[in-house]
Structures are given as structure tokens and as C-alpha cells.
Structure 1
């Protein structure tokens, strides 16, 4: 995964969340739970690291805004 840039967390209420899960379905389910609570820039795919189990997913949260319907 790319590094987290300062611009992603420049103000209070902004966050970057990286999910490590056994499979895509679990990672996306966690992302859906987050999206129900705050505004989110969702990921559309997971990543895998060769030779390591599981997947990773990174999404960006803005706690200052309401979640979109």
C-alpha cells in the first residue's frame, strides 16, 4: 500500500483506516459499517501482499460530515 500522506489527516476529524481481514467480503463489510457512521471515501478493491495471508483495504473518513444515504 502507498504511504499515508499528511494531506489525508491535516485537520481534526479526518482519518485514514486500514482494515486487515481474512477475505474481501469481511474487509468490505467493515467498510460498510464505517460508512453507516460517517462520511467515507470508500475503497473499491482490496490488496494482497504476496506470500502473506489475508487482504488489506484502506478508506478515508471525514467525521465532520454526515454519512451519505
Structure 2
């Protein structure tokens, strides 16, 4: 996956931290899934999706912190 960055130790340095990669058919779907996650826990959202050349669909990576309440 050329557009996918490496997940490093800092991304998962403590319990209740997670990296979620969303694969979807289009930007709208990927961003909608990110919104659903944001309603349940604190996230560092992605501001755009990526596309892998020659592959269908888009990808979006966000970082979750289950220890914190989502921003309202």
C-alpha cells in the first residue's frame, strides 16, 4: 500500500489508543464512518482520504483515544 504510512509505537503507546484505517468506495463514505467514530470516542481525525494508484476506493486513517470523551 504505497499511500499508507507506517504505524509507529507512539500511535499505540498506551492501552485504549488505536489506529483505525477505513477503506471505502468514496470520500463521503469514509468521512461518514470517521464521524460515527468521533461520536463515540476522542479522535484525531483525518482531513482527507488517500487513493492507491490503480486500486479502487479510498482510505482514511484516524487515531482513537478511548480514554477521553468525544468533543461536543
Task: Place the TM-score, normalised by the shorter chain, in its bin.
Answer: over 0.9
Candidates 6, 10, 15, aligned match of 1:7: 10
Q: What residue is the counterpart of 2:28 in the other structure?
A: 25
Q: What residue is the counterpart of 1:35 in the other structure?
A: 38
TM-score w.r.t. the length of structure 1 is 0.99
Is the partner of 2:20 in helix, strand or coil?
A: strand
Unaligned runs of 5+ in 2: none
CA shift, 1:41, in A, is 0.2
Number of positions where the alignment pairs a residue of Structure 1 with one of Structure 2: 69
Unaligned runs of 5+ in 1: none
Q: 2:26 and 2:15 mapped to 1: Cα distance?
A: 31
Aligned-residue Cα RMSD (Å) equals 0.3
Cα distance per residue 1:17-36 (max 9 Å; x no partner): 00000000000000000000
Q: 2:52 and 2:11 mapped to 1: Cα distance?
A: 23
